[in-house]
Chains A and B, each alone.
Chain A
Amino acid sequence: MSRRARLLLLAAAGLVVAGFFAAACLRLPAFGAAVHPYGERAVAAALGQRTANTVSSVNFDQRAFDTLGEESILYASVLSAVLLLRLARDERKHEPRPAPVLPSTRLFGAVLLPVTLLTGGYVVAHGQLSPGGGFQGGVVLASGLHLAYVAADYRALGRVRPLAVLDVADALAAGAFSVLGLVGLVAGAAFLQNTLPLGTFNTLASGGLVPVVNAVVGVEVASGVIVLLAQFLDQAVEVVER
């Protein structure tokens, strides 16, 4: 198909989509309206389960089965990236040479690396109380670790990144989510139902199953993102054609 014909087809399809979308928007509830029936029920359910962060309650308690699917998608994508970017027959790895780094940059990285890892851990651990949770904190942990690459070099990253351990941690955490679902079945309730003791509202141990699933997701996201980024970094730094 020629470029011009393709653009014409796209314009026609775009006009149809735009027309129907605008018509649908006109029938939506007004922007900023006070009535949110699902939201109000979710808030009431979250407070009933003594979870202060309603978004975490929705993700890890009320819609935990949906999050199991989301987490499996994450695991599958890490797996496929590892598979797609594996070393081909006509490639080999070469040892990256140490790069010159300003001492001040190196010091900055060494000071900030523990701070960012602590921040990530905090965001994961307080997922049921304050904004954040396993997904957000996991990404903070994983990207914080790469300060070692930004502020030093690839060899320094290799020393703070135990890839073999993280590979296993990713798989174990992904599986642990499903196993945690069985806790509900053992207690005679539904799969992934929140049957653990709920604790005191607004404390670290509140929310029953929520902080446990949250921590498992934090481990999976952190190790998954590190493994994922490792594949891309390998391609850029280590892998050359034979």
Chain B
Amino acid sequence: MSNTTQDSSTTLKLILAWGFVGIPLIWGVLQTLTNAMKLFQ
């Protein structure tokens, strides 16, 4: 039971930590990709 709680707590921390850096990065990449598409227009 305690192991399960620890596992789910670690999983939550991982989601939060990766989301914290991943969401801004994906937003930035999408912005850049939108601009980059002008090369093919």
Instruction: Decide if A and B are genuine partners.
Output: no
Chain B residues in contact with chain A, CB under 8 A? none
